[in-house]
Structures are given as structure tokens and as C-alpha cells.
Structure 1
Amino acid sequence: MGTVLVVGASGFLGAEVCRRAVADGWRVVGTYHSAAVRVAGVEARRLDVTDRTAVRALVTGVLPDAVIGTPYRYADWAVTADGAAHVAYAAAEVGARLVHLSSDALHAGRDTPYLDDEPPSPVFPYGAAKAAAETAVRAIDPAAVLVRTSLILGEGSKQIQLCRDALAGRATLFTDERRCPVDVTDLAAAVLELVPSDHAGPLNVAGPDAVSRAELGLLVARREGIDPAGMKTATGAAHGVLRPTEVRLDSTRAAALLRTRLRGVRELLAR
């Protein structure tokens, strides 16, 4: 199968990509910054993606066939934007196939779904960082695939934990933010399936169901048998939160391109 380098292997998605890649027979090298990589069979390497020289040294040392870029830090431009550019430069230098993980956060939000090729329209800093990362990656490596995804679910997901916290009255779920959540195992399978493909440019890879964060909380409550009466909800507008409201990704192209079936959140959280 060759060698795949997973940048950000200690993260929620990165770890799942590593697990699946190991099971598929890849030699897997995974990077981390502070939290350790806890996936058996992965060659763990510490990396600061903001250090361009270090990124280049690691990639040229590993000589991967493919690089999967999953690193981000919500409020850190250097990691999310600059780090993505450093990874893209290094991957292009060794001729590795690059799969870059992007986000629906780069859209402004509207009442109609976003298609794959629509240009970014960020309205808050994290979305701007993800948009800048995409711009850099496309300029450096036009053959790279940019996976635009949404809220990532699964056991250990911070999205599920946020719902549990809201059900316990420790957090608030917004009723005016709608997304298309995707299961981490489905997303990891799709990412690895894209490695040998010739798809280039943006590709929406998200679930088919659009739900608000508050609706997601109710689905978690039903699955786990929790009384939702105490769940705290509000609107982002009332809390002064500057984030996109309704961002629905149309993943029709991915559904036709991939063997992986992207399950909807209602199926994922069915009792």
C-alpha cells in the first residue's frame, strides 16, 4: 500500500484515519504536537507545523506516497493556515498525493446548500483561516483534494460531549446554527478512498441531514435515554456569537464518487 503521513494524528479525525490506514495495510507515520498518538502500528513523530523547516525535514525524511493534513487549532492562524501551506509545500516537493481537510466554517451561511466549488466567504476568524489554508494549498498543489466537512461525530467527539454538557445544564446549544454532521469513521474512510483517486479541488464530504445544534442535542438525549427538559438552548445572535448560521453542504458529488456511504445524523444516533 505504500506510506501515508497523517499530519495531526493525535486529533479526533487524525487518529481514526490512522486506525483505518493501519488496518488497510499502509505504513502509517503520524505526527503530533503535544498530545501523544495512541494508535497501534503508527510511527509517531513530533512536529510543529508552524515550523516550515521542520515540516520539510520530516516529509523529505519519510518520503510518503500520500499526505493527509488534519491539523488545526481553532484560534490559531499559524497552525490552521500557515501550517497547511507548509505541509502542502513539503508534500509537493516529494510528489506525494495531498488530501487536505477543510471545513464548512469558511462559508458565510445562507438558506440554500453550498455546492463543492463555491468560493469561501468567511465571516469569522477561524473560517478565514480555513479559507486561507485552502487558497494556499490550491496555489501550491492544484492536484490536491480539499475535503470540506462539517461537525464530526462519534464516541469521543467534542460535539457529542457539548450536547451532554447542555443536557446537564453546563453548556448552551444554539437553535440558529444548522450543519450537516458526519460520522468520524465515514469521514476517515472517505479520506483514504480519495488518496488513489484523481479528484482535485474542493469536495463536500458531510452527512445528508441538516440539523441545528439544539436538534443534535435532542437526538443525543433520545439515544442515551436522557430527559431533555433541562437542556439549555439559545440563539447565537442573542449571545453575540459571530459565526455562520445555516451552512448546509451538498455532498451529492462525493456520494457518487465514493464507495463509502455517508450516513445521516438521524441514522447515526438512532436508538
Structure 2
Amino acid sequence: MNLLVVGASGFLGAEVCRQAVAAGHRVVGTYHSAAVAVPGVAPRRLDITNRAAVRALLTGVRPDAVVATPYRYDDWAVTADGAAHIAVAAAEVGARLVHLSSDALHAGRPTPYTDDDVPTPVHPYGAAKAAAETAVRAVDPGALLVRTSLIVGEGSKQIQLCRDALAGRAVLFTDEARCPVHVSDLAAAVLELLPTELAGPLNVAGPEAVSRAGLGLLVARHDGVDAGGLKTTTIAGAGLHRPAQVVLDSARATGLLRTRLRGITELYG
């Protein structure tokens, strides 16, 4: 397969590249500022907010498939507009598109979210991810939208946040639950889904829900450090308005995939 990974210098993008190269695919990986450091990947600098540049790159590479992983938490132009530019260009060259989305587009509720639940964003990043999905589906109804949760593993920002909280440099919420997924499991699932004809939203997250504070305790146990210094609070206590309990029901993906999505207790317990 001739594969284009947009955001190849990111945590997930780099892992997708590593596994794709190992599987024998020809891989082109884009980056914006941090260079792509994966052996066997042809790097291409790309500003995804520049529609003409995106179109020129895809016209030149003519990939069979595109995995779009880029995001910037506080930048609508990257998260929403950039996703639209990629979708348009991928459709023009006839490439299969897998767009990485997020549980951040949900508002939070006591019951799990299924694949078919519509976005209910409550903050700008969630709104940008929802807008990205809308744009991608409008441009390419055959695109697959992989909704995932906190991505963990060595080098993960989520794990570093836990270590910072254990050292008293950050704070973790006791009332914010997510379904963490290991980066290698998620990358393997994405590559497995590429040759399928699945379209629309698909939850691909870990099978266990855990609070941010609970994740911090698991990391402490995994690292063999004292959890006594773990700094925690609640969302309300921090004066914030953000999703609390966002649990993704990944039963459909689990039934379809050979890749096993490991639970957070297995990974860090």
C-alpha cells in the first residue's frame, strides 16, 4: 500500500508509521515543525491549514490511503479546517481516508456513548473535532471516523501529566472519566481498518473507564513511586466547564478487529 500519514511526527502518527513500515507499506509522513524520525518514512513538510499545499501534496504522492492524525488543541484552523482540506484532497485522488477523531466531542453523561451518538461539544476543542467530522463526512461519506480516547504509552502526554501530578507539578481530576487506549493498539487497529469498507464513526478505545486521578494512581503503581503526593481536584473545584464522564462503547470495533484493545489495568496495573 502507498500510505500517507498526516501528522507523522505526533505520538500516534509516528506509531502508525512504524507499524506500517514494518508491514511493508510505502509510507510518506507529513510534519509541520518537528521532523519525522521514523526510519523508512519519506518525510514531507505540510501546513494543513493551506488548502492548496494539501492538494499539491496529495496530487504528487497519490496515496492509496490516508491516515489523518493531526490536531492542535487550541487551533480551529488545524483541527477543523485542516481536516476538511485533507478530506477534499483525498477524495480528489480517490484515496481511502481514516480520520482520527476524539471523545472530546461529547459532553459527558452517566451512560456510555455508542458509535452512532451525535457530537454534543461543550468546549472549543470538542466543537472543532465535531466540525472536522461533519466536514469529512460531507466531503467523503466513505471515510472512516475513528473516535478514540486518551492515548497512553511511553512518551504519551497523558502519562507525563500523571507523573507531573505525582510530583506536585500538575493536578488530576477525580470526576473526569475516560477509556485510555495504548498507542500501539490504536495504531494497529487503524491499519487493520484501512482496507475495510467501514464508514462513519467507530469508537476505538480501551475497554475500561478510569478517572484521571485513577490513572495517576495506576501510573504510580507501575512506576513504583509513592502516590501520597498526587495532586487531585474536581472539575467544579478547578472552576472549569468540561466533559466529566465520557465512556466510549467500543463493542462494535472489538467484534470486528483482530487487534486486542487492552484495558488500562492490564497496561499499568
Under TM normalisation by the shorter chain, which class is it?
A: over 0.9
Shift of 1:240: 1.4
Q: How does 1:164-203 map onto structure 2 within 5 Å?
A: 164-203=163-202
The alignment status of 1:118 with 2:117, answered yes or no, reads yes
Question: Aligned residue for 2:207?
Answer: 208
Question: Aligned residue for 1:258?
Answer: 257
Question: Aligned residue for 1:137?
Answer: 136
TM-score (structure 2 length as normaliser) = 0.99
Q: Which amino acid aligns with 1:234?
A: T
Shift of 1:252: 0.1
Distance 1:34 1:222 in 2: 35
**Percent identity for Structure 1 against Structure 2:** 77
Distance 1:236 1:22 in 2: 41
Q: How does 1:50-199 map onto structure 2 within 5 Å?
A: 50-199=49-198
Q: Which amino acid aligns with 1:192?
A: L
RMSD, matched Cα: 0.5
Distance 1:215 1:208 in 2: 15
Q: Which amino acid aligns with 1:198?
A: E
Structure 1: state its 5+ residue gaps: none
Shift of 1:60: 0.4
The alignment status of 1:6 with 2:11, answered yes or no, reads no
The C-alpha deviation readout for 1:231-250, integer Å capped at 9, x for no partner, is 10001111112210000000
Structure 2: state its 5+ residue gaps: none
Q: How does 1:230-245 map onto structure 2 within 5 Å?
A: 230-245=229-244
Q: 1:84 is paired with a residue of what secondary structure?
A: helix
Distance 1:40 1:237 in 2: 45
Distance 1:258 1:167 in 2: 35
Question: Aligned residue for 2:41?
Answer: 42
Q: Which amino acid aligns with 1:221?
A: A
The C-alpha deviation readout for 1:186-228, integer Å capped at 9, x for no partner, is 0000001111011000000000000000000000001111100
The alignment status of 1:217 with 2:216, answered yes or no, reads yes
TM-score (structure 1 length as normaliser) = 0.99
The C-alpha deviation readout for 1:61-117, integer Å capped at 9, x for no partner, is 000000000010000000000000000000000000000000000000000000001
Distance 2:12 2:44 in 1: 17
Distance 2:106 2:245 in 1: 9
Distance 1:78 1:176 in 2: 30
Q: 2:175 is paired with a residue of what secondary structure?
A: coil
Shift of 1:171: 0.4
Distance 1:176 1:165 in 2: 19
Shift of 1:130: 0.0
Distance 2:215 2:174 in 1: 10
Question: Aligned residue for 1:21?
Answer: 20
Q: Which amino acid aligns with 2:143?
A: A
Q: Which amino acid aligns with 1:261?
A: R
Distance 1:214 1:177 in 2: 8
